[in-house]
Amino acid sequence: MDPVTDPIAEAHRQWSARWPEHADRMAAVTSVMRAQQLLLGRIEAALKPFGLTFAAYEALRLLAFTRTGTLPMGKMGVRLMVHPASVTNVVGRLEQRGLARRAPSPDDRRVVLATITPAGRELAERATAALHEDGFGLADLTAEQAAAVTGALRAVRVSAGDLPD
């Protein structure tokens, strides 16, 4: 790697000269930050024509996958790995656009259910097609390279307590 063209390789070189035992972790963290920034930019550009952020798309997609189109908001938070307040925010904005609606559960009024509307399902399909068209910003990666990303980051998620070992 040419240190002039790759700032992460250059940072790794700087770290290796001072704290060699920490250089690989520093480069890994910086790589995650940089990859996220690049991919989020690509994905939000692909979703912009649909007026969706990536978080809104994920919520819509999750509801579209269910048989009934309905999920408790709490369960959505777990599945989307986001804070309950973020789910409330995202689903609230989908509701304003007629893409989802919220109602208390008939079984337990403390539980709020989110349900995707037909317009929401239709938008989810079109947005998914656009992301596929764009290869999720990773069109040049082979399936094997993509699986290597998921595998390497699984160790990060285990280390951060996101998953059992």
Distance CA(156)–CA(43), nearest Å, equals 22
What is the nearest approach in angstroms of a second copy to the Cβ of residue 33? Answer: 6
- The three-state secondary structure class of 116 is strand
Helix, strand, coil percentages (3-state) for the chain, rounded to 5, are 70, 10, 25
Applying CB under 8 A, which of residues 45, 103, 111, 152 lies at the interface with a second copy?
152
Closest approach of a second copy to the CB of residue 106, in Å: 25
Calculate helix-pair angle for 118-133, 20-47, nearest 10 degrees. Answer: 120
Residues from 74 through 103 that contact a second copy (CB under 8 A): 78-81
Of the candidate residues 49, 51, 65, 126, the single one contacting a second copy (CB under 8 A): 65
Q: What is the CA radius of gyration of the chain?
A: 20
Instruction: Identify which of residues 65 and 104 has a Cβ nearer to a second copy in the complex.
Output: 65
Provide the strand spans (E) within 68-153.
70-72, 100-104, 112-116
Residue reference for tokens 């349900």: 115
- Say whether residue 32 binds a second copy (CB under 8 A): yes
Chain positions contacting a second copy, by CB under 8 A: 1, 5-8, 10, 12, 14, 19, 21-22, 24-29, 31-40, 42-43, 54, 65, 78-81, 128, 131-132, 135-141, 143, 145-160, 162-164
